[in-house]
């Protein structure tokens, strides 16, 4: 009871102690999770000039751009660049109050779609009513995605127009003056002739010029902007490749040989072992079935003829010498083992030349979203074009603008020399059956083609073959063995130095420097985003090791360095800093030891020659025999004729120059042409540098590494 009474007497103190303990606990949690304390919400990918890019909208764009040719990280970076540019430019538009009005938008759409075949009338002229009907149809369509995509297209057109308006305003405010034109004329036309002696820095060996770490550090601090870097990591790794063994290759060849010879095979349907015919004796139907079932090729049985040139060089002669029904192989072709059966031969045109105009309809293949014609309407358009070109073939080229085949429009609709069978079946049928000069309309899955056969060359032998292709890849046993080897090496590193363990196991160590937080590719390995993330995780330390699976095996990596954002460390900076510091030291050594005041004395003292360079101007400060030397040329222009300079530190060495002759620029009555040159240079600079300048001046916070990567 006495203890309880004391506690009651100290209630205020007790509450204060408990509150402080809770506060300390909360602070500890926040600092353990410092992202929550200092960073934006995980739903924000970036903030540009105060505008947030939401994670949801960002990932929606990433998903919409997904394709087989780019990795997820590449697409994210593309979308990020687009969004940053959009936000940076919108900030400028809003500051100036720039907008695109309704009437301007109508004019922009007319200009953008003026040559789109879908919005041309029967006379081939843009018809705004067709465009308006198309937009209305999209708006009333059951699927709102089509209309939303159209709105996005309109937004893109408006954004391009705003950007062009903005750039035009900047250009209008940055015109060149006559004084600038006169200066440009002087820089180009005023010339000097000089004599000079050059003492190259290479005359002093690098090994004789010592540079300390403190000197490198001082150079870095003096040139901070040049050596500012993002946070990065250094690592080293060894690879364990899932490469097929000789046993794996032999097993693949044995299976292909079994197809050639025929034999016993288990039938999953009948649950019985059955005799199979040899590949050479099979019927065409069975050959097709076997090839489609057993070949690893992306495109399996191809029911078409090929010329000898289509076969791999090393086995071409062997295949063309086969008789129908014969089989060649197994043979190696790159990363596959194949067997090939010759089915039949025929004489076929090896080169055809046609021109066409493609009129698509709504349900045809690869139709653009803005195609509104029905099949009947498309056929009617194609027939109308045919009747025009039948009357006057010279109009064909002009009507190609109506074609949706962008690949041939630039060539006036012509598909130049190509092999028979390389086009879709109906298209090819017209090419090989019609007479040269014939016209017609052909329907394919792409739409209606108004075609003319322009020319074709003589027939040659073509071959129809069936090929079973097997990729040479490691077996499960081989993959398991590679996994065990990589895992065992990872375990070794718990007690051994990375380099020592690699050497003991005859493994090559691959060093990698300055991996940045948003990188995804490891040199020599390829995309491996999870490894990069690991090196930047909280708690990841120098010396940590980990195994990662790659597309063709495993790597075991070790973190060897952590470089924080700021100035580059001395070791990394020395690559570029050392040559510059050495150059400064060599220049001082040369100047300290040289006392000559004339070109002849300097040349004699340093075993050099007096050289001549004439017609040098300030616009292009290049000296014959020495290259670009702006400071040396500038010094020459400041001399009087006959005057000799003191020693000058140039790009490649120390120089002494004598001005032989100065030719002033001729005074002109009008400097407009030079003024125009300056204006064009400024305009070109705005096109190439404006956005980067605006971006550099913007406040950009990038949270991708924490929110989406």
Residue-wise pLDDT for 469-501, tens only, equals: 999 999 999 999 999 999 999 999 999 999 999
Global pTM reads 0.63
Torsion angle in degrees (nearest 10) through CA of 335, 340, 344, 349:
20
pLDDT higher for 86 or 138?
86
pLDDT of residue 14: 44
Q: Does the structure show a pLDDT above 80 at 17?
A: no
Q: Where along the chain do its domains lie?
A: 2-36, 39-97+174-189+665-709, 102-172, 191-203+573-663, 232-243+475-564, 246-349, 352-457
| Closest to 191 in 3D by CA, of 615, 628, 613 | 615
Burial (Cβ within 10 Å: 0-12, 13-18, ≥19) of residue 275: exposed
**Is residue 509 a contact partner of residue 499, using CB atoms and an 8 Å limit?**
yes
Residue 4 has pLDDT above 80, yes or no: no
Looking at 63-67, 415-419, 560-564, 695-699, which range is the least confident one?
63-67
CB 57 within 8 A of CB 152: no
How many other β-carbons are positioned within 10 Å of the β-carbon of residue 683? Answer: 16
Provide, rounded to the nearest whole percent, the portion of the chain with pLDDT above 70. 92
What is residue 120's DSSP assignment?
A: B
Label residue 592 by pLDDT band (50, 70, 90). Answer: very high
Could you read off the pLDDT of 621-654 as tens digits, one per residue?
A: 999 999 999 999 999 999 999 999 999 999 999 9
**Is the Cβ–Cβ distance between 567 and 221 less than 8 Å?**
yes
The chain-wide mean pLDDT, for the chain, equals 88
pLDDT at 582 over 80: yes
Structure tokens that stand for 148 in this block = 């939303």
pLDDT at 276 over 80: no
Name 244's Cβ contacts closer than 8 Å, sequence gap at least 6. Answer: 472, 473, 474, 475, 478
Q: What distance in Å separates the CA atoms of residue 134 and residue 150, rounded to the nearest whole number?
A: 10
For residues 584-591, average pLDDT: 96
Q: What is the pLDDT of residues 21-61, one digit of tens each?
A: 554 544 454 444 444 444 556 789 899 999 999 999 888 88
pLDDT class of 18 with cuts at 50, 70, 90: very low
What pLDDT, in 10s, does the model give residues 214-268? 999 999 999 999 999 889 999 999 999 999 999 999 999 999 999 999 876 656 6
pLDDT score of 272 more than 90: no
Residue 612's pLDDT band (boundaries 50, 70, 90)? very high
Which one is predicted more confidently, 141 or 184?
Answer: 184
Please provide the distance, in angstroms rounded to a whole number, between the alpha carbons at the two ends of the chain. Answer: 61
Q: How confident is the model at residue 415 (pLDDT cuts 50, 70, 90)?
A: very high
- pLDDT at residue 16 is higher than 70: no
Sign of CA dihedral 300, 304, 305, 308: negative
Q: How many residues does the chain have?
A: 709
- pLDDT bracket for residue 296 (50, 70, 90): very high
Tokens of 363: 């349900």
CA distance 71 to 709: 12
Domain 352-457 has what CATH class?
Answer: alpha beta
Separation between Cα atoms, residue 124 and residue 120, nearest integer Å: 5
Report whether pLDDT(526) > 50. yes
Cα distance between residue 577 and residue 217, in whole Å = 9
pLDDT at 370 over 80: no
**Residue 309: band (very low, low, confident or very high) from pLDDT cuts 50, 70, 90:** confident
Q: Which of 377, 413, 379 is nearest to 395 (CA)?
A: 413
* Two structure tokens written together for 299: 């495109």
**Nearest 5 degrees, angle CA 441-CA 446-CA 449?**
20
Higher pLDDT, 71 or 82: 82
Residue 419 has pLDDT above 90, yes or no: no
Q: Which of 251-265, 365-379, 419-433, 675-689 has the lowest mean pLDDT?
A: 365-379
Residue 391's pLDDT is: 93
CATH number for the region 191-203+573-663 comes to 3.10.50
Q: Using the predicted structure, report yes or no on whether residue 317 has a pLDDT greater than 60.
A: yes
- The answer to whether the 232-243+475-564 and 352-457 domains have the same CATH topology is yes
CATH 3.10.50 given to domain 232-243+475-564: yes
User: What value does the mean pLDDT take over residues 263-286?
Assistant: 77
Per-residue pLDDT, 709: 65
Q: What is the pLDDT of residue 295?
A: 93
Better-scored residue on pLDDT, 331 or 302: 331
State yes or no: pLDDT of 610 exceeds 70. yes
pLDDT band at 274 (very low <50, low <70, confident <90, very high): low
174 pLDDT band (50/70/90 cuts)? confident
């Amino acid at each position: 009871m006495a203890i309880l009474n004391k506690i009651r007497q100290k209630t205020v103190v007790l509450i204060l102690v408990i509150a402080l303990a809770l506060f300390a606990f909360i602070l500890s949690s926040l600092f353990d999770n410092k992202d929550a304390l200092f960073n934006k919400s995980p739903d924000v990918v970036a903030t540009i000039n105060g505008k947030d890019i939401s994670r949801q909208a960002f990932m929606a764009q990433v998903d919409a751009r997904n394709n087989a040719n780019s990795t997820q990280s590449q697409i994210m970076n593309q979308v990020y660049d687009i969004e940053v540019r959009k936000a940076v430019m919108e900030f400028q538009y809003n500051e100036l109050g720039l907008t695109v009005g309704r009437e301007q938008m109508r004019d922009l759409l007319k200009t953008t779609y003026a040559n789109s075949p879908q919005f041309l009338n029967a006379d081939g002229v843009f018809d705004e009513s067709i465009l308006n009907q198309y937009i209305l149809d999209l708006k009333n369509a059951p699927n709102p995605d089509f209309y939303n995509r159209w709105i996005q297209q309109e937004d893109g057109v408006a954004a391009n127009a705003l950007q062009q308006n903005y750039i035009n305003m900047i250009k209008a405010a940055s015109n060149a003056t006559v004084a600038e034109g006169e200066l440009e004329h002087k820089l180009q036309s005023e010339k000097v002739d000089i004599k000079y002696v050059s003492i190259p820095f290479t005359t002093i060996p690098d090994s004789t010029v010592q540079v300390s770490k403190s000197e490198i550090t001082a150079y870095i601090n003096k040139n901070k902007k040049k050596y500012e870097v993002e946070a990065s990591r250094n690592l080293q790794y060894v690879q364990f490749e899932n490469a097929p063994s000789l046993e794996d290759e032999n097993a693949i060849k044995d299976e292909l040989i079994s197809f050639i010879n025929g034999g016993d095979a288990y039938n999953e349907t009948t649950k019985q072992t059955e005799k199979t015919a040899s590949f050479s004796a099979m019927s065409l139907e069975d050959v097709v079935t076997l090839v489609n079932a057993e070949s690893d090729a992306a495109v399996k049985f191809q029911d078409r003829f090929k010329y000898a040139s289509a076969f791999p060089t090393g086995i071409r002669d062997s295949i063309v010498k086969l008789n129908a029904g014969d089989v060649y192989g197994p043979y190696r072709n790159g990363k596959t083992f194949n067997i090939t059966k010759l089915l039949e031969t025929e004489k076929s045109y090896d080169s055809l030349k046609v021109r066409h105009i493609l009129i698509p309809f709504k349900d045809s293949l690869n139709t653009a979203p803005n195609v509104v014609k029905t099949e009947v309407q498309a056929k009617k358009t194609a027939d109308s074009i045919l009747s025009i070109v039948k009357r006057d073939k010279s109009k064909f080229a002009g009507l190609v603008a109506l074609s949706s085949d962008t690949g041939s429009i630039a060539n006036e609709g012509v598909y130049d020399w190509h092999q028979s069978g390389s086009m879709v079946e109906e298209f090819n049928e017209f090419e090989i059956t019609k007479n040269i000069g014939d016209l017609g309309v052909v329907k394919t899955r792409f739409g209606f083609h108004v075609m003319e056969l322009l020319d074709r060359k003589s027939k040659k032998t073509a071959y129809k073959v069936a090929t079973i292709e097997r990729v040479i890849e490691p077996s499960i046993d081989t993959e398991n063995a590679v996994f065990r080897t990589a895992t065992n090496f990872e375990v070794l590193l718990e007690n051994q130095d990375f380099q020592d363990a690699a050497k003991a196991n005859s493994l090559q160590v691959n060093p990698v420097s300055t991996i940045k937080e948003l990188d995804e590719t490891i040199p020599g390995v390829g995309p491996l985003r999870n490894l990069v993330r690991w090196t930047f995780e909280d708690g990841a330390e120098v010396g940590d090791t980990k195994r990662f699976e790659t597309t063709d095996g495993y790597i075991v990596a070790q973190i060897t360095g952590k470089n924080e954002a700021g100035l580059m460390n001395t070791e990394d900076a020395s690559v570029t800093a050392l040559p510059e510091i050495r150059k400064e030291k060599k220049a001082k050594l040369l100047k300290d030891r040289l006392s000559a005041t004339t070109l002849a004395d300097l040349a004699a003292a340093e075993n050099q020659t007096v050289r001549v360079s004439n017609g040098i101007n300030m616009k292009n400060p290049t000296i014959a025999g020495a290259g670009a030397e702006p400071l040396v040329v500038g010094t020459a222009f400041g001399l009087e004729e006959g005057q000799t300079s003191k020693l000058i530190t140039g790009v490649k060495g120390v120089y002494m120059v004598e001005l032989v002759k100065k030719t002033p620029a001729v005074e002109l009555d009008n400097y407009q042409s030079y003024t125009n040159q300056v204006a064009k240079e400024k305009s070109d600079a705005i096109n190439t540098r404006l956005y980067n300048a605006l971006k550099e001046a913007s406040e950009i916070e990038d949270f991708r590494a924490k929110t989406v990567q």
